[in-house]
Amino acid sequence: MAPMGIRLSPLGIAVFCLLGIGVIYHLYAGVLSSRFASFRQKPNVDLRDLLALSMEAAVQGGREVKRIREDNTLEEKSKGKTKEGASEKLTLGDLNSHRKMFYLMKNTYPYIQVNSEEHVNAEGEATLWTRIIPKEILTKISGGKEVPADKITVWIDPLDATQEYTENLRKYVTTMVCVAVDGNPVIGVIHKPFTGYTAWGFVGEGSNVAPRASYDTNSPKVIVSRSHSGKVKSFVQAAFGNNTEIIPAGGAGYKVLALLDPTDEEQEMADMYIHVTYIKKWDICAGDAILRALGGQMTTLKGEQIDYSGSEGNTGGLLASIKTDHKGLVKRLPPWEENKQ
């Protein structure tokens, strides 16, 4: 006897049972599907944790850079030529620092994109982050600033200023980590291996470095790459006059720090940083983030923001400044076309 007094034939009972099974199957399949989708979705990452991890990665890489330089075991070789025709150096310091930094990041957050200057096919390190957050970060940055992992791109430079490293010009050498969210630089870390100092900035949250009290844009000191200071000299003087002081220096990280309150006696001071040729994003992302955290800017020579997603190169040159009229500086620059550089 069926419910409600309805009498069913054997065929009707079979159909009724099949319909019930179908409903249960679809309900169960829907639950499984949502669970699998949840499993495939990358988790969120707390940016304060990522700042602390970035600092630890830069420091660990820096230890390798310092040790190999002091032991004089560089094993120097050439990776080829830069776009300017200079030899692009590679040392054991670059490689060992890469392994420390890259695998510390990937072992801790295997689901985030990490781009490094070096692309070494070597066994990874089993290092894991201790999840200890330095007190200076805890006092300045609150937690809970989470973003989806698939929006994050990390750029690491295991050894900035390799040419100067081989020449034992230690003051220019840094290790750097940058965290970009949707292509925008948010966290920047620049570590000096030979002094032990680490500069960091978190856009909208804070920094442990500061701008200087004032900057001269009428007769500025302009810091440029020592590898092609002659090429940029005429460009700078066309904008700011023949009396403009050009400071040739190594390392993009060092040049950004030259715009800030000096952290040591060896640090030179400049009013702006200009680069007129192709440059990789791991060279400039950390400095861009620190400048943004302090209210400064780093743009292409045409005043465009640099996108830190996608390809590794920036072809638009760069102008970096702080506490100045950045748009006004861009307007003073002479016409620039990348295919002429």
Residue list, annotated binding site for Mg(2+): 117, 157, 159-160, 283
Q: Which residues pair with 155 in a beta bridge?
A: 115, 178
Neighbour count for residue 214 (Cβ, 10 Å): 8
Q: Which residues are annotated as a binding site?
A: 117, 157, 159-160, 283
- What per-residue string of b and e applies to 137-159 under the rule 16 or more CB within 10 Å gives b? beebbeeebebebebbbbbbbbb
DSSP SS3 for 26: helix
Give the Cα separation of 216 and 73 in Å (integer). 43
Residue 223, φ and ψ in degrees, nearest 5:
-90, 135
The dihedral built from the CA positions of residue 169, 167, 165 and 93, taken in this order, carries a sign that is negative
Phi, psi of 266, deg, nearest 5: -80, -15
Cβ-based neighbours of 7, under 8 Å, separated by 6 or more: 1
SS3 80: strand
Count of beta carbons in the 10 Å neighbourhood of residue 215: 18
